[in-house]
């Protein structure tokens, strides 16, 4: 039956190739889009985990409820931190415990009439090498956070300052009073994310504690050896009823929630792309049925059953779709693998976007993408081939033989 189907495909090779080509293009596009969209989502997820939440964030329960306001008065004191570290250090799957404190500040430079609001992040420089990894992102100056602040390229250009120019940082302390600290700009970083490079200044945790008159930190970020341990960590965290642990997915981060929603939406888009190409199979096989209607009558007259004729046309459509889908998925995956090496730089397009969009997007070159598109093309090709094949079952031999 398969040999006969292949022979029939070769009878009108040009039409068969054009039909397979539609599945080739559709599968290629699906692999490319899937790889790039997943790469985009993964980039946003990684930067949010590294910069905002870790795998798990530990903070005061009330802090989570009010974190949009960055309440500096809701901080973990030294006793809280010691208890947390003592318990967490017993867990073998914990990779790192990082203290972070952030607050909204006004950057002031009276000499150049600068008043700019931004987010100030305090970190432990010696512990952040393998996580925020800011040292490798410095493009001007140095990474001496104890001596001053480093700011993003977008913010640096907007302020119009030079390295070593001083800024006064104005904010509310943990006690609710206005407080200031004067720090020089010691470096400029490029995280290669539009929103972060325009709206963040970073200094040492010690400097932020001095500014906020705080003996502690607003949150502790936990990095685990594998994400599969998140559920166990959060469910077994019980130190103080006023302190909570939340995974990065439950931390109220609307960006990550939108990315999860987008993944589901895009899945249906992939299906629609393949479905559009599947109409070519329906069209080709329907034409084949009407062109070979006398042949169908002859086959049925010499003893071929309705099911065998149905199977013959079904196999023809499936073979055409499978070949097109396989080659499209393969070439698409190879293309994505090549692009994944360096990615494509969208900085000129995204630099003014007020959203943490990565400048360089590297597609996810997973073999899963190839199998996903190939399997999708096979399934839809089989379904598409069924419609004209079902029609052949209804044809009577005498009606077929009377056709012109």
Cα dist from 76 to 52, 81, 221, 243, whole Å: 17, 6, 12, 8
Task: Supply the angle between the helices 2-11 and 13-48 in degrees, to the nearest 10.
Answer: 100
Q: What is the pLDDT of residue 355?
A: 66
Alpha helices in 215-305 (DSSP H): 230-235, 254-291, 293-301
pTM of the model: 0.76
| pLDDT tens digit sequence for 104-144 | 999 998 777 788 899 999 999 888 878 887 888 899 998 88
Please state which of the ranges 38-42, 122-126, 193-197 shows the lowest mean pLDDT.
193-197
Give the separation between CA 329 and CA 339, rounded to whole angstroms: 15
Please state which of the ranges 12-21, 232-241, 313-322, 353-362 shows the lowest mean pLDDT.
353-362
Q: What is the pLDDT of residue 391?
A: 67
Asked if the model's pLDDT at residue 404 lies above 60, the reply is no
pLDDT band at 285 (very low <50, low <70, confident <90, very high): low
Better pLDDT: 117 or 44: 117
Q: What is the pLDDT of residue 283?
A: 72
Q: What is the pLDDT of residue 237?
A: 87
Q: What is the pLDDT of residue 281?
A: 65
Closest CA to 320 of 49, 17, 7, 56: 17
């Amino acid at each position: 039956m398969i040999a006969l189907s292949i022979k029939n495909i070769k009878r009108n090779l040009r039409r068969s190739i054009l039909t397979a080509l539609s599945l080739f293009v559709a599968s290629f596009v699906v692999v490319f889009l899937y790889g790039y969209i997943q790469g985009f989502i993964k980039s946003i997820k990684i930067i949010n985990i590294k910069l905002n939440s870790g795998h798990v964030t530990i903070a005061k329960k009330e802090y989570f409820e009010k974190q949009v306001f960055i309440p500096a008065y809701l901080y973990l004191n030294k006793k809280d931190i010691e208890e947390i570290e003592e318990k967490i250090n017993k867990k073998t799957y914990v990779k790192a415990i990082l203290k972070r404190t952030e607050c909204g500040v006004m950057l002031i430079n009276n000499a150049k009439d600068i008043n700019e609001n931004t987010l100030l992040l305090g970190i432990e420089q010696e512990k952040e090498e393998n996580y925020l990894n800011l040292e490798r992102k410095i493009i001007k100056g140095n990474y001496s956070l104890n001596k001053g602040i480093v700011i993003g390229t977008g913010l640096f250009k907007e302020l119009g300052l030079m390295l070593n120019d001083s800024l006064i940082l104005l904010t509310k302390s943990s006690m609710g009073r206005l407080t200031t600290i004067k720090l020089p700009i010691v470096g400029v970083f490029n995280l290669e994310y539009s929103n972060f490079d325009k709206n963040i200044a970073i200094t040492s945790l010690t400097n932020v504690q001095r500014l906020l008159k705080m003996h502690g930190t607003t949150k502790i970020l936990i990095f685990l050896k594998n994400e599969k341990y998140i559920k166990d960590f959060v469910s077994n965290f019980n130190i103080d009823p006023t302190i909570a642990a939340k995974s990065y997915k439950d931390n109220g981060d609307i960006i990550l929630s939108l990315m999860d929603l987008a993944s589901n939406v895009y899945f249906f888009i992939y299906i629609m792309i393949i479905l559009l190409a599947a109409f070519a199979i329906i069209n080709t096989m329907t034409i084949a049925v009407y062109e070979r209607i006398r042949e169908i009558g002859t086959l049925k007259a010499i003893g071929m059953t309705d099911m065998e004729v149905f199977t013959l046309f079904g196999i023809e459509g499936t073979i055409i779709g499978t070949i097109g889908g396989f080659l499209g998925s393969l070439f698409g995956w190879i293309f994505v693998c090549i692009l994944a090496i360096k990615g494509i730089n969208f900085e000129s397009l995204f630099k003014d976007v007020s959203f943490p969009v990565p400048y360089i997007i590297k597609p996810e070159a997973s073999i899963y993408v190839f199998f996903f598109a190939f399997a999708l093309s096979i399934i839809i090709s089989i379904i598409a081939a069924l419609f004209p094949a079902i029609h052949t079952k209804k044809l009577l031999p005498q009606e077929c033989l009377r056709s012109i």
